[in-house]
Amino acid sequence: MKTTLLFGIHMHQPVDNFEWVIELAIKTCYEPFFDVMSRYPSFRFSVHCSGWLMQKIEELRPSLYEQITTLAKNGSIEFFSAGYYEPILSVIPSKDRVSQVERLNASIEERFSQTPHGLWLTERVWESSLIPDIAKAGIRYTVMDDYHFQCAGFDEDVLDGYYMSEEGGVEMGLFPISKKLRYSIPFLNVETAINAIKSFNRENNSVAIIFDDAEKFGMWPGTYEWVYEKKWLERFVEAILADEMITTSHYGEYFASNTPRGIAYLPNVSYYEMGEWSLRADDALALAALKDEMGFERYEKEGVKFLKGGIWKNFFVKYPESNRLHKRMLELSLAYHEEGGDFQTQLYKLQTNDSLWHGVFGGLYLPNLRDNSYRYLIECENIRYGKKKGLFCDFNELDGFTKYKFVVPKLIVRFDSAHGGQLVELDDRENCFNYQNTLTRRKEAYHKKLFDAPKEPSTQNEDGINTIHHSSVEISDVFRDALIYDWYLKNSFIDHISDEYFNEQNFRYCNFNELGDFANQPYESSQAKNSVTFKRDGGIYKDDKSATTLEKKFTFNSDKIDFSLHLKTQAKGEYTYIMEHNFHFSEYEQLCINGEALQESLTIESTNTLEILDLYLKRKITIEVDKPFKIHYFKLQTLSQSEQGFDLSIQGVSIALVFDFETTVELNGALEIAHV
């Protein structure tokens, strides 16, 4: 019996990523891939390319774009649709889902004269509520992992065809992508990969389904040499075409000419690794331990049906910085509408998935991706508000606490009563840059690798190469030293109460004595015309709790925030009040603090002014207070996993303004942003 091979690749890069990254992807992956495939036009395969990336390919490599166009015209390629800017469809509003898919459909029709009926499910994040919307956009079938089906109780040996599902009577075809093939192609030798394909031969219409990241063909570590220099792809395609027991086809052709295997109702799930990544670190480690305890064979046979991680939306729980971006996007989508204009384009760019989550790649941990997201967000706000100004409040992050947004021609400022009445967004409207776009240092499950690294380097199997999930990493003491975890979010106007031992080192390592309960607790709030007041009746905890009240008021002007703070305590003794700020910048090499170039960390003894000079954006951030203070600061760095191993990224500068006090603190000051 013949086996039909449905072979598809997915191409995407974060919107407005560094151009050198796009060039690298083209050079090491897309260009050589289509160069090989152009030599074998009878090999039929499917392609999904995000709309933005196809624009960049046409702009940067017209010859590659022409190769893709020729393959499409010759009938080699079937194009799949998705959201134009590659959003996770289940986390954007219904109207935006339909519009984003229709926008990519229109682009494919205009460029390649095809009407797509298949949909690439971004990050394979599935919710059945998607069906009516994607069907409305003309989609008849989509692809997801066989893991999705196994989570619903299906056995692997029946996943050799498509299934039908429905939502409210609207039908959709579902194709299960084979894990066996994902881990074989292109990582194992050609003969092994061919045998894996031919194992799908249960019935006459059995199909082997593979639809995976194109970046595995040259961009992942070690794959360029394996796939192109050692000619894996060329030998693989030739072997497929020469084998009389395998035929290649398009998904649409198979869907039209074969009946479904049955019906399927699938849970809200993505691929297994995504479920791990969306869990908090300790839960992800516990999940891995349970899987190890179960054993590989038992897990593959039955455990896969029952042992699962979290859902994709858990990233909004795990990372408040991601949730903040997502809820701001929802606010914009629901509050303002401009069909087909600049607002809609920037909103759809903001919906790009990459900056909202983190797994084996940088994602949320990459400052430039978050900067891009905030640029789109601020561009939307600029269109929405124009020259209007005012103070607005809402509850749009679903925690029940009020958020305050003050809009003036030069700035957009947001405060959050849930997190200590703190500054959570400081937007320079002209530069479309958020100076508060920091990231908190937190524990990740893969940090365990820094302490459990093998003493001997792993050896490579001659029959293939490692996938990115199993590649070895080099460990350094610099990385281990960077494992510092914050117990509060790195916002600004954070209130700490400590003792005389507070210093530059314990500030950096976040192990100073915190005697108050103001840094990560909610405040009561009230609003006047141009001001917001936050108040908390808390305590100082030394021996017993001593009643302590802290009240702070922020008054907003065109490019300045005036503030006053009053703290009174019944605690006896000498204490230290710290007002912490965390500011994010584009280029830290072009930064000066109080006249000196930025250091790794530094203490400035006594001053009334903090002055940060941002030479890159030509801005000066000044904080003046009517009482003298000491400054401690350090570069806020996170350690994250990447394609190459581990990366240290500067997420901001953490700054402590230190004041000594006994029973009261009275401060008046201003935060100002000015042109240099």
In whole angstroms, how far apart are CA 360 and each of 113, 202, 277, 570, 641?
A: 36, 35, 8, 49, 6
Residues 374 and 432: beta-carbon distance below 8 Å: yes
Return the DSSP state at 459: P
Catalytic-role residue among 58, 166, 167, 213: 213
- For residue 456, give the nearest of 470, 477, 475, 479 by alpha carbon: 475
In a 10 Å sphere around its CB, with 0-12 CB exposed, 13-18 middle and 19+ buried, how is residue 568 labelled?
Answer: middle
Q: What share of the chain is helix, strand, coil (3-state, %, to 5)?
A: 35, 30, 35
- From 78, 123, 160, 381, the catalytic residue: 123
Q: Compute the distance between CA of residue 526 and CA of residue 511 in angstroms, rounded to an integer.
A: 33
Strand-strand pairing, 531-541 and 524-527:
antiparallel
122, two tokens: 């971004």
> Position of tokens 């006896």?
572
Instruction: Work out the number of other CB atoms within 10 angstroms of the CB of residue 95.
Output: 12
How far is the C-alpha of 616 from the C-alpha of 305, rounded, in Å? 52
Phi and psi angles of residue 643, each rounded to the nearest 5 degrees, phi first: -60, -30
Is 213 annotated as catalytic? yes
Neighbouring residues of 530: CB distance < 8 A, sequence distance ≥ 6 = 391, 406, 555, 556, 557
Cis? peptide before 186, omega within 30° of 0: yes
Tell me the Ramachandran region of residue 587: left when phi exceeds 0, alpha when psi lies from -120 to 50, beta otherwise. Answer: beta
Kind of pairing between the strands at 619-642 and 170-177: unpaired
Closest CA to 512 of 525, 490, 523, 497: 497
What b-and-e string marks burial along 638-654, b requiring 16 or more CB atoms within 10 Å of the CB?
bbbbbeeebbebebbbb
293 among known catalytic residues? no
User: Measured between alpha carbons, how far is 82 from 50 in angstroms, rounded to an integer?
Assistant: 7
CA dist 450 and 482 (Å) reads 11
d(CA 162, CA 250) in angstroms, rounded, equals 13
Cα distances (angstroms) measured from residue 202 to each of 191, 199, 326: 20, 8, 44
The residue whose two tokens read 């949730």 is: 323
| Residue type, position 40, single letter | Y
DSSP string, 576-597: EEEEEEEE--S-GGGEEETTEE
Please identify every residue annotated as catalytic: 123, 213
